[in-house]
Chains A and B, each alone.
Chain A
Amino acid sequence: MLLFKAIYHFKSIPRSLGLIVDQCFMIGNKSVPLILIISIFVGAVSSWQAAYQFKFIGAPLRYLGSAVGKAVVIELAPVLSALVVAGRVGAGIAAELGTMRVTEQIDALESMGISPVRYLVMPRFLASTIMLPILVIFSNFIAILGALVVSVFFVHISYETFLNGVRFSFSLSDMMGGMLKASVFGAIIGLVGCHEGFQTSGGARGVGISTTLAVVISSVMILISDYVIAMVLFRM
Chain B
Amino acid sequence: MDACIRFENVHKAFNGKDVLQGVSLEVAKNESIVIIGQSGCGKSVLLKHINALIKPESGSIFVDGNDVTSMNFNELTEVRKNIGMLFQSAALLDSLTVGENVGLALKECMHLPENERKDIIAEKLSLVGLSGTEQKYPAELSGGMRKRVGLARAIATGPAILLYDEPTTGLDPITADRINDLIINLHLKLHVTSVTVTHDMTSAYKVGERIVMLYNGRVEFEGTPDETRNSSNEVVRQFINGQSAGPIQMN
Contacts and interface: CB of A to CB of B under 8 A. Distances in A.
Interface in A80-118: 100, 103-105, 107-115
Contact of B80 (A15, A103, A105, A111): A111
Contacts, number: 56
Contacts of B108: 112, 114, 119
B48 to A, nearest CB: 7
A107 B44 CA distance: 12
Interface residues of A, number: 15
B160 interface: no
B69 interface: no
A107 B93 contact: no
Contacts of B48: 107
Contacts of B76: 113
Residue from A103, A104, A109 having most chain B Cβ neighbours under 10 A: A104
Interface string B92-119: 1110000000001100110100000000
A111 B109 contact: no
Contact of A112 (B73, B89, B109): B109
Contacts of A112: 80-81, 104-105, 108-109, 153, 157
A108 B87 contact: yes
B53 interface: yes
B91 interface: yes
A193 to B, nearest CB: 16
B80 A113 contact: yes
B51 interface: yes
A53 B184 CA distance: 80
A105 B91 contact: yes
Residue from B81, B83, B93 having most chain A Cβ neighbours under 10 A: B93
Contact of B89 (A104, A110, A114): A104
Nearest to A104: B91
Contacts of A114: 104-105, 108-109
B26 to A, nearest CB: 22
B78 interface: yes
B87 A110 contact: no
Contacts of B157: 112
B226 to A, nearest CB: 33
B38 interface: no
A30 to B, nearest CB: 14
B36 interface: no
B210 to A, nearest CB: 23
B85 interface: yes
A111 B85 contact: yes
B73 A115 contact: yes
A69 B148 CA distance: 59
A15 B85 contact: no
Interface of B: 48, 51, 53, 73, 76-78, 80-81, 83-85, 87-89, 91-94, 104-105, 108-109, 111, 153, 157
Given A104-B89, A111-B80, A112-B108, 4 more contacts: A108-B91, A111-B84, A115-B77, A119-B108
Closest 9 CB pairs of A and B: A108-B91, A104-B91, A112-B105, A113-B80, A113-B77, A111-B85, A113-B81, A104-B87, A114-B108
14 contacts: A100-B93, A105-B92, A105-B94, A108-B91, A110-B53, A111-B53, A111-B85, A111-B87, A112-B104, A112-B108, A113-B77, A113-B80, A113-B105, A114-B104
